[in-house]
Chains A and B, each alone.
Chain A
Amino acid sequence: MTSRRGFIRAGLTTVGTLALRPFGLLPAMAQNTSNYRALVCVFLFGGNDSNNTVVPMDDTSFQAYTTLRGGLALPASQLTAPVLSVSGAPYSFHGKLPDLANLFGSKELAVVANVGSLVQPLTRAQYQQAQAPIPDNLFSHSDQQLQWQTSVAQGHSPTGWAGRAADYIAAQKINTSDFPVFLSVSGNVLEGTGASTQPVAVTPGQSLMLQGFNNSKGSQARLSALTTLLTADTGVSLVQAANQVMANSMADAQALTNALGKAPTLKTQFPKTSLGAQLHQVAQIMSVQSALGMSRQIFFCSLGGFDTHVSELETHNTLYPQVNDALIAFYQATQELGMAEQVTTFTESDFSRTFQPTTGDGSDHAWGSNQLVLGGAVSGGQIYGQFPTFELSGPNDADTRGRWIPTTAVDQYGATLASWFGIPDSALPSVFPNLANFPGAKLGFVG
């Protein structure tokens, strides 16, 4: 692949040819849609209290939930009607997530319970007596976000797991285009940074194309000067880094604009929210995957505001409808495009929150969380992994407040997704370097 991206590491000599490559030359060979697969991450920033996302409704669990969560316990009237899992156990979703509950019932949505960052499987005794390695800086937003995004729980990782998956896809020339495998509609994010590939970020509804140019001589001279300067080496690393981002932007802008010119108008109505706009943009880009030359893509969306130390119920009543409405619209759009089985959407979040409330009807930072996976290829209607025992200072509690020690690792969650996406077992260790620490690495919820 003659990549026009990632030239900084390869040395600046390549940028000249890259930036000066005629715009608009795209691979003509279209991909077969049935071979297409995409992963779509929806990151819930701030640490979603997933204790209230999905609630086990068997008598023992629900009674413990109601007692221990106190002011945060949702009464049955604020939960969806219980849905039976494939194994016959009843679960309710937050009442503002009705469409997701329905997808669980129709087996198009799975729940992965108590998943979080780990170095290796860990018990309460090991944690409390410091007898086993644990992730760095637990309960810190910034650290736990990065551990979810990198699948590396100790030390600094310069790359994210989706970025490393993108490295594999690029190295194997699985896409016919060198358009980036990883596309964020929510800004820069480490999850998509690879060792040899760089993500692209798009603002929903806005072109990356530079404005203010026409075919006049003066205009072209200005563009030529800008483009030429991107190849200048002044020996300053930050300048080179800024040049790289701009060169990437210009290359990707042309490819994306050309492809989106052929995009069909989606009949599916997306909600007029930030997450709705992000997922609408993702659906539009997916609809032109063939013109873009992409058969494997990873997308990143996000919604913030989940750091509910106080007034959690009110906050969830604002945020969860946004999640529900955007996700169901997106799923319907993939059905409209005939791609529902080719697209798997999954949630991530910093951490879940203390089972025991704060004095202000909120909850503090915790650890293991429940995550949602939906799509036509998902073996839904099931709980993967295990819910914790709802007991403060109980077997799953890191301390005394219901900070659940994860029983499934981020590595396993990501590897299951990546495996379906097309990363072979032989390459999984390069994407998830600590996967071997977890027996039964893949969880089987998709693929």
Chain B
Amino acid sequence: MKTLFVALAALVVSYGQTATPVMSDTAAARFLDQATWGPTPASIAQLQQMGIANWLQAQFAMNTSDLPNQPVIGPTGKPYTALADVQRAFFANALTQPDQLRQRVAFALSEIWVVSQLGGVQYAYAFPPYWRIFRDNAFGNYRDIIQAVTLNPAMGRYLNMANNNKADPSGRTSANENYARELLQLFTLGLTQLNADGTPVVDANNNPVPTYDEAVIPQMAKVFTGWTYPAAPKHKAGANNPPYYMGQMYAVEFNHDETQKSIFGGNVIPAGQTAEQDLQMTLDDLMNQPTMAPFVCEQLIQHLVTSNPSPAYIGRVSKVFLNDGNGVKGNLEAVITAILTDPEARAGDEPSAVTAGAATFGHLREPILFLAGILRGLNATLGNSSAIQMYAAQLGQDLFRAPSVFSYFSPQYRLPNGELAPEFQLQSTAAASFRADIVNRVLYGKLDASTKVDLSAFAAKAGDAGSLADSISYVFFHHAMPAAVTQQVEAAAEAQATALAKAQAALYVALTSSEYQVVQ
């Protein structure tokens, strides 16, 4: 049936004037599993009609999602800290808003540039503006993200750049090292110098070469002195304002350390500069570090496509990060295009082809991708009282509440066999069984009071177990469900009495399977 459809579609195209060959179901759905929160029949058909290039252009132009602003003070007169409305809106966007690629990239960036309500920013109103940095710059320039985050008051609070005054002249204190250290280690360079293909630079003794030595951190801490929170409305702007999370931080020069700083890469920030001058010079120096391209690109590839990209794949994307073809460095629109259209990303589009590296390809769906993917495929609607965010939290992804600046999971987390498998850091025995319980609740109507799923399309096929399995394969398995899964899906369906029970059982077996949990 699948072959027939493809052949038919090709025939239709051949009557038109377009030269673009139609994408197979498999190619379209695979691409959408990498570039959206999960394929749906409508999105598969749309991509097949548009082709990847046109689809990407449309996505780059789209910016439709938002998170609702939150009150500073709640109805009881206390600081408003509840994040549930923001978290629910995030899921609602994932399920229904059309700017899917922008959302996926923004989320990946937010998992690199972490600000969390745990251990810092209590106020809920801080998070929508912080998240908009990634939404609005998802296809922009990486340097703009570095600068916007650096001056964002939520990050200022979280990693203590706000009110980081220069050291007390008595020598009894030092400038705070927190933002300086994590900006380098987590957001831009990592600990080890990388070649363009992501492999470590090694010295003559084959030891990795660090991106900076320990003496750099106290110097970098001095670079980031002198900034304070924006003044809250009706508050006088002072030198060390209390936390306020709308707008950008500003510099107070007498709190800035004007001495000379020796930073990473042998760069020197000269004495006598303003806080703003120090900042701009440091960010320019950062952009010139060759390690940044592979450091950032590998993580974006891992979030969107595969946990273990080949050095060649990383190298091709890094090259685009360094120069988008027009001499611009850090152009994320070009980087995302390179990631999603790379031959390694697309190699599995033709399932019959034996592709190199297939055994280590793909990545485990992180909890939010798992939940969103299932609900999109089941045409779900979230109600106002949806508890979807609590399920994500219990699986290890409490939105905007990562346990630390090290995010929900480490890009360096490995399986015992040494393969990179970042999302597996969350996949404990407890999480594995809870994922199956969530599937059970979704399918049998017990997820929460207001979330509704629509199984009718599957129940309509339930008269024939093969057709039912094929309909599940189309939405959830890139129309290429492995034979072993098909066999068990059919067996589970055939043991049920009603059409609905057959659809439920078949979907349960399919969606709890590791073949679904791991995006191939």
Contact = CB atoms under 8 A, between A and B. Distances in A.
Interface stretch (B3-11, B134-142, B316-324, B424-432): B424-432
Nearest to B363: A238
Contacts of A71: 173
A236 B176 contact: no
A253 B177 contact: no
Counting chain B CB atoms within 10 Å of each CB, the highest count among A209, A218, A304 belongs to A218
Interface stretch (A27-35, A80-88, A222-230, A379-387): A222-230
B282 interface: no
B433 A304 contact: no
B217 interface: yes
A198 to B, nearest CB: 8
A232 B482 contact: yes
B515 interface: yes
B303 to A, nearest CB: 15
Interface in A22-57: 45-46
A140 B414 CA distance: 18
Contact of A356 (B174, B363, B509): B174
Contact of B178 (A225, A238, A309): A309
B429 A252 contact: yes
A242 B482 CA distance: 16
A245 interface: yes
A310 B210 CA distance: 27
Contacts of A229: 484-485, 488, 509, 513-515
Contacts of B360: 236-238
A399 B174 contact: no
Counting chain A CB atoms within 10 Å of each CB, the highest count among B177, B424, B430 belongs to B430
Interface residues of B, number: 86
Given A188-B425, A188-B427, A200-B429, A237 B417 contact: yes
A8 B359 contact: no
B518 A236 contact: yes
B416 interface: yes
A201 interface: yes
Contacts of A441: none
A211 B440 contact: yes
A224 to B, nearest CB: 8
A103 interface: no
A245 B191 contact: no
A436 interface: no
A249 B174 CA distance: 48
B173 A222 contact: no
A206 B178 contact: no
Interface string B386-414: 00000000101000000111100010101
B501 interface: yes
B418 interface: yes
A234 B487 CA distance: 13
Contacts of B166: 359
A359 B173 contact: yes
Contact of A249 (B119, B405, B432, B488): B432
B177 to A, nearest CB: 4
Nearest to B482: A234
Interface in A313-369: 354, 356-360, 362, 364-365
B492 to A, nearest CB: 4
Contacts of A138: 214
B514 A242 contact: yes
A361 to B, nearest CB: 9
A232 B160 CA distance: 50
Interface residues of A, number: 78
Contact of B176 (A222, A235, A309): A309
A140 B186 CA distance: 10
Contacts of B417: 8-9, 237
Given A222-B505, A226-B512, A310-B160, A304 B404 contact: yes
A154 B427 CA distance: 26
A188 B424 CA distance: 9
A203 B434 CA distance: 10
Contacts of A143: 191
A427 interface: no
Nearest to B419: A237
B370 to A, nearest CB: 11
Counting chain B CB atoms within 10 Å of each CB, the highest count among A46, A158, A357, A364 belongs to A364
Contact of A158 (B181, B416, B489, B492): B416
A250 B429 CA distance: 8
B29 to A, nearest CB: 17
A234 B414 contact: no
B305 interface: no
Contacts of A45: 403-404
B384 interface: no
Given A201-B428, A237-B419, A305-B119, A139 B505 contact: no
Contact of A359 (B175, B210, B394, B432): B175
Contacts of A220: 495
B492 A221 contact: yes
B509 A226 contact: yes
Nearest to A248: B429
Contacts of A236: 358-362, 515, 518, 520
Given A45-B404, A229-B484, A356-B172, A241 B119 contact: no
B421 to A, nearest CB: 6
Nearest to B425: A188
A186 B165 CA distance: 37
A360 B163 contact: yes
Contacts of A362: 160, 176
A210 interface: yes
A440 interface: no
B437 interface: yes
A184 B119 contact: no
B173 A357 contact: yes
B160 to A, nearest CB: 5
A225 B514 contact: no
Contacts of B509: 222, 225-226, 229
A245 B172 contact: no
Given A212-B437, A218-B495, A360 B362 contact: no
Nearest to A143: B191
A239 interface: yes
A399 B214 contact: yes
Nearest to A212: B440
A288 interface: no
Contacts of A209: 433
25 contacts: A46-B404, A138-B214, A187-B431, A201-B429, A203-B394, A210-B437, A212-B441, A221-B505, A222-B495, A229-B515, A232-B515, A234-B482, A238-B415, A245-B428, A246-B514, A249-B430, A307-B119, A309-B178, A354-B174, A358-B174, A358-B177, A359-B164, A359-B175, A359-B225, A401-B218
Given A221-B505, A232-B482, 17 more contacts: A140-B181, A142-B412, A202-B430, A211-B440, A212-B441, A218-B501, A226-B488, A229-B488, A236-B518, A238-B364, A242-B424, A242-B427, A253-B433, A309-B159, A357-B172, A358-B164, A358-B177
7 smallest CB-CB distances across A and B, nearest first, come from: A221-B495, A201-B428, A242-B514, A249-B429, A212-B440, A232-B484, A225-B488
